[in-house]
Amino acid sequence: MAVCRIAVYIRLSKEDDKTKDESGSITTQRLLLRKYAAEHFAEYELTEFCDDGYTGTNFERPAVRELLKRAKKRELDCILVKDFSRFARDYIELGAYLEQIFPFLGIRFISVNDHYDSAALLGNGAGIDVNFKNLLYDLYSKDISVKVRSSLAVRKEKGQYVSANSPFGYEKSPDDRHALVIAEDEAQIVRWIFSLAVEGYTSVETARMFNEMQVQTPIEFKIKKGKTSRVPKGEKFLWNSSTICQILRNEVYIGNIVQKKYEKDFVGGKNHLKPRAQWLVGRGHHEPLIDREIFDMVQKGRGKGRMPRDNRTHPLVGKLVCGACKSNLRCRGGKNPYFSCPRRYFSAMEDCVVRADALFVEEAVLLQVQSNVQGGGSAKELIENAVDKIVVYKEQQITIQWKPHLLNTRGDTI
């Protein structure tokens, strides 16, 4: 029997050092792989390739390059790694090696912890492709869910963005007109829309609130950037629920591009939507704006009416404003209602009220009103007559702004 020429590939990254995770150390990887070789091969010779302190996001590592060089010269029969991420963190590139390059060179690839052995998949026909792709997508979506935003990890899988217009939240890259890059001013609003949806805002409520707060619409952004010269039908452009819905279901925000959604009935005929399964989806095409988990959560909530929540209107709503941005606070929550600023998702609005307990705010307001305002009447009337605005700050500090004729009251901060 011929001797199997095994390459053992080991990588220790800088991140590994920091966490002092012993399971990823060079010694551990070496022991695991040598043990595996001894148990699974009769006759073999082992060469070790070790990269210390290199990231897995590309193949610019001396040992991996040496390994690939030897592989291409057909000096290796088998490559052994602890897990895929040791070899490559760019799953698209990893896929190319595992699906095309190594099979072409006749090299067997084993990833011990992933229970992946290319030899075991041989003869499995079409199954290889599907199983393996699923595995890749699995790994890939895990990556997204841990917010790996590194653009290095994002490569085109297939397809190019060919539409003339970029979707709201993105713009065409100045270097490559088929590539999309994040337009941060628009992206903030997209993230905001998703955050509100997770909180249970319906698209109608979000649209209404945006119009109230005069949030710029996608068209207005385009006009501002000189991309269109459209004029509004009415007085101005407004948000509506279908715009919000379109954004919430658009996979472009998780880094995918979806093409070939429509087909023509006959030559020159009308476009109609194809079944979802027939769309061409390119995954990992560009940097995502929204985590996969959030996106999936929102999709589950859509179409089922509203998400479970208590949409109460509190008597103080309308009086309460955010200390940072002066937006009207909203009342949220079920058993323990609280006030929050709807603008807090803006990265620029870090001092917005995240959560001010409703009971606390009520108490604090009552206390101040009663000690400052003479006269009878219910608390509701007192507040109605004497209080102009109640400013709430992030740390639940409360300042009451009295109506002008009551300015001679005592200090008003608690």
389 binds Zn ion (CB under 5 A): no
Shortest distance (Å) from residue 60 CB to Zn ion: 45
Q: Stretches 160-168, 222-230, 352-360, 384-392: which one binds Zn ion (CB under 5 A)?
A: 352-360
Shortest distance (Å) from residue 174 CB to Zn ion: 34
Query: What does the angle CA 268 – CA 272 – CA 277 come to, to the nearest 5 degrees?
Result: 130
- Of 306, 210, 185, 194, nearest to 253 by C-alpha is 194
Q: Stretches 16-24, 343-351, 356-364, 375-383: which one binds Zn ion (CB under 5 A)?
A: 343-351
State which of positions 320-339 bind Zn ion (CB under 5 A).
322, 324-325, 327
Shortest distance (Å) from residue 238 CB to Zn ion: 22
- Of 289, 257, 326, 286, nearest to 186 by C-alpha is 289
**Angle between the 292-301 and 184-199 helix axes, to the nearest 10 degrees?**
50
Q: Stretches 86-94, 167-175, 285-293, 342-350: which one binds Zn ion (CB under 5 A)?
A: 342-350
255: left (phi over 0), alpha (psi -120 to 50) or beta: left
343 binds Zn ion (CB under 5 A): yes
Q: Which of residues 245 and 356 has its CB atom nearest to Zn ion in the complex?
A: 356
- Of 66, 63, 68, 8, nearest to 40 by C-alpha is 8
Q: Which of residues 80 and 329 has its CB atom nearest to Zn ion in the complex?
A: 329
C-beta atoms surrounding 327 within 10 Å: 19
196 binds Zn ion (CB under 5 A): no
Q: Which of residues 161 and 339 has its CB atom nearest to Zn ion in the complex?
A: 339
Q: Stretches 105-113, 211-219, 344-352, 398-406: which one binds Zn ion (CB under 5 A)?
A: 344-352
Shortest distance (Å) from residue 324 CB to Zn ion: 5
Sole binder of Zn ion in the list 110, 209, 341, 398 (CB under 5 A): 341
Residues 6+ apart with CB under 8 A from 209: 196, 201, 342
352 binds Zn ion (CB under 5 A): yes
Q: Which of residues 198 and 325 has its CB atom nearest to Zn ion in the complex?
A: 325
Q: Which of residues 44 and 393 has its CB atom nearest to Zn ion in the complex?
A: 393
Q: Is 258 exposed, middle or buried (0-12, 13-18, 19+ CB in 10 A)?
A: middle
Q: Which of residues 172 and 355 has its CB atom nearest to Zn ion in the complex?
A: 355
Q: Stretches 161-169, 263-271, 350-358, 361-369: which one binds Zn ion (CB under 5 A)?
A: 350-358
Q: Are 144 and 255 in contact (CB under 8 A)?
A: yes
Q: Are 128 and 121 in contact (CB under 8 A)?
A: yes
209 binds Zn ion (CB under 5 A): no
Question: What's the sign of the alpha-carbon dihedral 204, 290, 158, 170?
Answer: positive
**Angle between the 203-212 and 184-199 helix axes, to the nearest 10 degrees?**
130
State which of positions 304-323 bind Zn ion (CB under 5 A).
322
Q: Are 209 and 203 in contact (CB under 8 A)?
A: no
Q: Which of residues 189 and 352 has its CB atom nearest to Zn ion in the complex?
A: 352
Which residues are bridge partners to 55 per DSSP? Answer: none
Q: Stretches 31-39, 63-71, 103-111, 349-357: which one binds Zn ion (CB under 5 A)?
A: 349-357
Interface with Zn ion (CB under 5 A): 322, 324-325, 327, 341, 343, 352
